[in-house]
Amino acid sequence: MRSFWVYGALCVAIQGLSGCGSNPVAENKTEVRETAKVAQYDQLVVAFGDSLYAGYRLSPNEGLAPQLQAALQADGVNARVHNAGVSGDTTAAGKTRLAFVLDNLDRKPDLVVLGLGGNDMLRGIKPAETKANMTAMMDELKRRDIPVVLTGMLAAPNLGADYVNSFNGIFPALADKYDASLYPFFLDGVVTDAALMLPDNIHPNAKGVSRVVEGLYPLVEAALKQQGDTVLEK
C-alpha cells in the first residue's frame, strides 16, 4: 500500500499535465510496417500503451518492448515484441488506433500486452469512460482471437475514495471477464525508488523498466506458451 500512496503523491504534483509523456505522436503506416517487420521470429507480441510503454526519454534498447523481448529470448522464447506505445495516449486514443495498428502488422499477433488508463486518471476522466474504452479494446482483441496480458494502473488517493475505488477496480474486472492475465500495477516496486525513476518522477528509467520486465515477462512467457500449446493441439 505504501507504493500506492507514494504514487498518489507524485500524481498530485503532475495534475496540471495533459498526461504521462510528451505530446502524443500518431503512428503512420510506414512506421508501423517498418517496425513490425522483423525476420526470424516465431511469435509476435504487441506492447500497446502510453509513454510507459513507448520508452519515454530512453534509448532505443531501453524501453519496455526491447527489454521484454530480450528477457523472453534469454529464456529461449523466440518472440518479437513490437512497440505500439504512444506518449500521451488516453484509453479513448488507444481505442481509436488499436484496429489500425493490428491491421498494419505483417501478421496476426500471438499476444497483446495492453496498458492504458494513466492519462485518463491524470486528466480526471470518469472511470466509467475509461472502463468503456478498455472494454471496447478487449472486445476488439477477443473478436480477433488475440490473447491479452493486462497491466493495471492505480488512481491517486487525492482523487477521492469513490474515484479511486471505481478506477482501481477496472483492470481486475476486465482480466476476470476476458480471462486475461493481469499485472496489477505497472510501476509496482519502481515508483517508490528514485533510483529507478527519471528526474520527472513519473516515468521509469532503464533500470526501472528492467524491474517492470522482471515482474511482467513471466506472465507474457506463460501466455505465449499457452498460445503455442493451443496451436499444436489444433
Active site residues: 51, 200, 203
Angstrom distance (rounded) from CA 232 to CA 234: 5
Q: Is residue 115 classed exposed, middle or buried when 0-12, 13-18 and 19+ CB atoms within 10 A define those classes?
A: buried
3-state SS record for 150-219: EECCCCCHHHCHHHHHHHHCHHHHHHHHHCCEEECCCCCCCCCCHHHECCCCCCECHHHHHHHHHHHHHH
210: Cα separation from own chain's centroid: 14
Cα-trace Rg, the chain: 17
Residues in CB range of 126: below 8 A, 6 or more apart: none
Local structure of 74: helix, strand or coil:
helix
Q: Which residues contact 113 (CB under 8 A, 6 or more apart)?
A: 45, 46, 47, 48, 49, 53, 68, 81, 148, 149, 151, 216, 220
Q: Are 184 and 167 in contact (CB under 8 A)?
A: no
